[in-house]
Amino acid sequence: MPKMKTKSGAAKRFKVRASGGIKRGQAFKRHILTKKTTKVKRHLRGVTEVCAADQKMVRSMLPYA
């Protein structure tokens, strides 16, 4: 069997933690920021966990992670 390929777009967006969870960046912080409050922008900083419904799909895109 040939090696499975990692989806390069997914590799740029997701990282697998040592505990097995998958971390991702927050959405809605790229543009149109003037109408968003400072509090909203502050809470969009950092990373968050991929939800349980999407974890199986993300893991299939990262076969060696």
- The pLDDT tens digits for 10-56 are 999 999 999 999 999 999 999 999 999 999 999 999 999 999 999 99
Predicted pLDDT at 23: 98
Banded pLDDT at 61 (limits 50, 70, 90): very high
Residue 29: give its domain's CATH number.
4.10.410.60
- C-alpha torsion sign, points 27, 30, 34, 40: positive
In whole angstroms, give the CA distance from residue 63 to residue 65: 6
Considering its fold, how many domains does the chain have in total?
A: 1
Structure tokens belonging to residue 1 = 């069997």
Structural domain containing residue 55: 8-61
Q: pTM of the entire structure?
A: 0.85
1 belongs to a structural domain: no
3 belongs to a structural domain: no
Q: Of 2, 6, 3, nearest to 61 (Cα)?
A: 6
